[in-house]
Structures are given as structure tokens and as C-alpha cells.
Amino acid sequence: MSDLRIAQPVHNTELADWQHVHNTVIPTHVLSLDDVRDRAGRNHLEVAYLGNELVGCSTVRPPASGTGAATVIARVLAPHRGCGFGTELYERGLRLARELGAQTIETVVLSSNEDGLRFAENRGFVETERYLLPGDTIPWIDLRQPS
């Protein structure tokens, strides 16, 4: 276990920190603070700090009705990659997804995020779909861990 301080973002400062990590790691899909608030109402969000320094964030989308599949996403700012922080965020999200009843774990990565793809593949995820959202030029990749 690292010295990360991980919190569920509630206040505007924490929500803005989550937003900053998301928008830095996924520059093709910039979210407003209102978008983040909306996501916080539907999903479990966390933001991670090392001391007072922002390191990363995570999202757990609860299991979809009837599918048993939850989505777990860990994002780490580039200067902090390779230190185990992504693993810590991912494992916390995975535990929560299982507590929420997930039988299958999925994730989604922007195809240009080579570090994120490598992270997912190293954890046994395999690509299930590649697609473009309206107006996007860089594909998204949905991945799933085999049962």
C-alpha cells in the first residue's frame, strides 16, 4: 500500500481535481464540472493525492442491469505512472465493483493512451469493441476481463 490519500470527491475542489485528471488523460472528451457532478451521481468516483499533489482518479460504473458487468477505470497523470498508483486505484475499484455484484469487469481506454492499454492488457483485459463517438477522431476501446 502506498502513501496515497484517496477520497470520494464531494466538494468543488475535489470534483475539479477529478475533472483535471480526466481531461488531461482524455483530452478528446473534455468534461465540464457539471458533467463531473452528473457522473458522481451515477458512478463511484475517487481522486488520489500523494501528500497534496494530485496523482490520479478512478471511476466505477456499477453493474448494468441484467449484464452483471461493471466498468472500472483508473487514470494516473503521466509523471506518476509506473509507481503502482494505477494498480492501487484499479484494485480499489475492482473490490467495489465486486461488492456491488459485478460478475464481469470491463474498462474503456482511448486508443491513443498506450500506457492505459498496456495497463489493461497486463491485467488480462482483452479488446471487445473499437468505436468512434460522434465528432471524435480517435477511437475508444472497450475491454473485458475473461471470466
Kindly report, residue by residue over 40-98, the tens digit of the pLDDT. 999 999 999 999 999 999 999 999 887 899 999 999 999 999 999 999 999 999 999 99
pTM recorded for the entire structure = 0.93
Q: Do 70 and 60 form a contact (C-beta atoms < 8 A)?
A: yes
Distance CA 120, CA 97 (A): 16
Q: Do 69 and 106 form a contact (C-beta atoms < 8 A)?
A: yes
Q: What is the CATH number of domain 4-105?
A: 3.40.630.30
Q: Do 36 and 19 form a contact (C-beta atoms < 8 A)?
A: yes
Q: Do 125 and 144 form a contact (C-beta atoms < 8 A)?
A: yes
Q: What is the predicted pLDDT for the residue at 147?
A: 72
Return the H-helix or E-strand segment holding 33: helix 33-42
- In the numeric block, the cell 459485478 is attached to 102
